[in-house]
Amino acid sequence: MSREGNALEYLGEERWRLPPRGAMRVPVELFASRELVEALDAKVLEQACNVATLPGIVKASHIMPDAHWGYGFPIGGVAAFDPEEGGVVSAGGVGFDISCGVRTLLTGLRRDQVEAQRERLADSLAANIPAGLGSTGLIRLDDRQMRAMLAGGARWAVKQGYGREEDLSRVEEEGCMAGADPDEVSERALDRQRREMGTLGSGNHYLEVQEVAELFDAETAHHWGLRQEEVVVSIHCGSRGLGHQIGTEFLRRMVVEAPRHGIQLPDRELACAPIESSLGKAYLGAMRAGINCALANRQILTQLTREVFHRLFPDLELPLLYDVSHNTCKEEWHRVGGERKRLFVHRKGATRAFGPGHPELPEALRATGQPVLIGGSMGTASYILCGTSASEKLAFSSACHGAGRAMSRRAASRRWRGGEVVAELGARGILVRSPSLRGVAEEAPGAYKDVSAVVESAHRAGLAKRVAKLVPLICIKG
């Protein structure tokens, strides 16, 4: 098959390969159905080929089924770098919303129990969960508290009374990313975040009350406490202004320093620094602090959500199923060519997907593999998948993270009106609460790819296996 002049080889099982050419050090490997490949923006392949030219890249430049054009790296891009081979870290390969991610809470409620309180629940969640561009909450952090939060992540939040100790075993890195260095976070970044803890933000961020509509793997679902026709809550947000500021500042520094390290950039947006350089280490310290900010933010939002539910359903516990990040660079050990190597895995708009038996999973999840939380687009389904052992070999234990945009926000706002989207979803039984009708228009369901097709490709390729399908009942939109 040729895609905009690029000869993609079909390898079978939803896998495609573009052999190295020019300055590419490794091939591009794409996971997608033929239909998704045909609809793929040619810019995605161009960006993935550019990533394949970076120093120290290992095995391949990977593209997930939900991939679309991004800044430098495609969103839905995965690439691993070997520090012993001059490997680099790229702020564009992590993204601006560092550690944007999803966490899902179990309620144990049946849909009919929620239906009786749905309007009150939607209004109360909207009133108590700050959302929207520039949204701020009631929490104010001074310098000492900010630095403690950046060092401690969700563990810090729990110590402040936001949530429970048992939550931490269901969060990546047990709630705290090691190696965070708050001293590498600028004053400007700190200032942007002081009033934004416990807020959803804008864009594609949301809090959804969802029904488990279908089970694909009843045994795994039972192990995780997922039951058909019961209700869960999913929270999608990240590191807010702090993460964006970190990304912006380090990209500027990396552009300037790249030539000093002999790095020829095919695109300025791919600005990077050697992992072992002082700039590379500084970025990793700041980026890890950004991860902790996002983990703390979702932990606070969890507590705010529980408080709302407790007022209407006093006996609920709302245990945490899992919290998984995308937009990260993680230091991990992977087997390459039969040799175990220490690698720095960039996942931009991609989710970690450790399979059964992985030592970094908590004991309660080690037998099944890691929950992989795939957010849908407002008004469409979301999915819960499970990491596989095959994913390690395929793409460094990675999977897709959502539906993936099919058109820009500007194009979506020209095509839809927010009020019409809210009314149409309301007629389908989905209550939407948002401070911005323009934001609703930008995030209209039609602006995204078919999430079911994306998930099916990930499942067929072996990146992760389907466990449950969720449908929205209430959406609090940024």
- Would you name the residues annotated as active-site residues? 401
Cβ(374)–Cβ(451) under 8 Å?
yes
The β-bridge partners of 78 are 62, 347
Backbone φ and ψ for 465, nearest 5 degrees, come out as -110, 145
Amino acid identity, residue 167? D
- DSSP code at position 405: B
The span from the CA of 399 to the CA of 345, in Å, is 13
Q: 10 Å Cβ neighbour count for 317?
A: 14
- The helix (H) or strand (E) run that includes residue 113 is helix 111-115
- The helix (H) or strand (E) run that includes residue 173 is none
Structure token digits, residue 317? 């516990």
3-state secondary structure of 86: coil
The span from the CA of 315 to the CA of 310, in Å, is 7
The span from the CA of 326 to the CA of 348, in Å, is 6
The span from the CA of 354 to the CA of 325, in Å, is 13
Q: Say how many CA atoms lie within 13 Å of 207 toward its Cβ.
A: 31
The residue ranges of DSSP E strands in 158-253, in sequence order, are 206-215, 230-237
Report which of 433, 421, 448, 444 is spatially closest to residue 478, judged by C-alpha positions. Answer: 433
